[in-house]
Amino acid sequence: MQDLELNDEQIMIRDMAREFARHEIAPHAQAWEKAAWIDDAVVRQMGELGLLGMVVPDSHGGSYTDYVAYALAVEEISAADGATGALMSIHNSVGCGPLLAHGNTQQQQAWLARLASGEVIGCFCLTEPQAGSEAHNLRTRAEQVGDQWVLNGAKQFVSNARRAGLAIVFAVTDPALGKKGLSAFLVPTDTPGFCVERSEHKMGIRASDTCAVSLTDCRIPAANLLGERGKGLAIALSNLEGGRIGIAAQALGIARAAFEAALGYARERVQFGKPINEHQSIANLLADMQVQVNAARLLILHAARLRSAGRPCLSEASQAKLFASEMAERVCSMAIQVHGGYGYLEDYPVERYYRDARITQIYEGSSEIQRLLIARELKHYAL
């Protein structure tokens, strides 16, 4: 789909991200997966190109144009490597986003330009071993002692944790207030007591570091409270639209890569005297794959345009994320089927695409949560 009513700037950003992804990321994706690490030099290049500050305005050192350009760029990076797309999306959405929306002037001046340039990578410490989508059920505590906050607790599934220089940590400040007793904090990761315990061994996006984190008598200045005390849950939930657009675009990129790999293979693989894409059964698979990829892109761009215009789009972002993530698994499975037995081997990238795609149905709100939110918004649907 070439004509998506994109403006010149959106096309330029998409094409820049595509060229960079194809030349600097795709050739190394398999090696990075085996090393469980994305090359530091490439992350620095992403910062120099503005890919790590795409939700941050120029006034704060970022490269923001709109969410359409952002979604297109995430798709291109993810088509080259789902793990690098995860780093980019998570850093932009929940690394930069909460600080941009809720940070005070001093906090923004101290951190936003460094985050946008990639000098500092951000991570988001919300999930705990016993609390995932139930974000208000946290056990991490923050106690105010003089002019400091003292944090104690454990976090789970923290993306970018080993690479991060700044963590946004959510902790209970007023246990008696329930969900109104949760607050957010800016924690430099070199703070004594902040410890990355281990990197998880994952099914997919293995080059994206996902870690458990502990906080033991972790002391930070009182000025590191992000937003108002007791507003932590609102801060955690406030960036759902942008975050889900980003993960939807990641899923789309992975699915598109799988489709293109299957199409290329089907044109070259000869069975019964002709390329297999000329056999109706394979042609039908390829047709279904293209339809699903294109449909996901339209949902994502619709949500991105609403977000760019400052209009509410929680349901639209959830629809895009739900459809794109479930579509990605289907399309990647079809791509393996087109490859036959070869699709099951590490020699071909489609088995990696399949593994990478699976997480997109889980993080940034599971498919079950997306359906819950979409159904809840139906009360506003005009018949």
What residues are labeled active site? Answer: 364
Phi, psi (deg, nearest 5) at residue 266 = -65, -30
What Å distances lie between residue 121 and 94, 116, 278, 357, 364, CA to CA?
Answer: 11, 9, 47, 23, 18
81 contacts 29 by C-beta, under 8 angstroms: yes
Residue 123 token pair: 């991570």
In angstroms, rounded to a whole number, what is the distance separating the alpha carbons of residues 317 and 144? 37
Residue 271's DSSP bridge partners are: 274
Quote the CA–CA distance of 355 and 208 in Å, as a whole number: 13
Question: Can you tell me the distance from the alpha carbon of 79 to that of 72, in angstroms, rounded to the nearest whole number?
Answer: 11
DSSP of 241-301: HHHHHHHHHHHHHHHHHHHHHHHHHHHH-EETTEEGGGSHHHHHHHHHHHHHHHHHHHHHH
Concatenating the DSSP letter of every residue in 132-159 gives SS-TT----EEEEETTEEEEEEEEEEEE
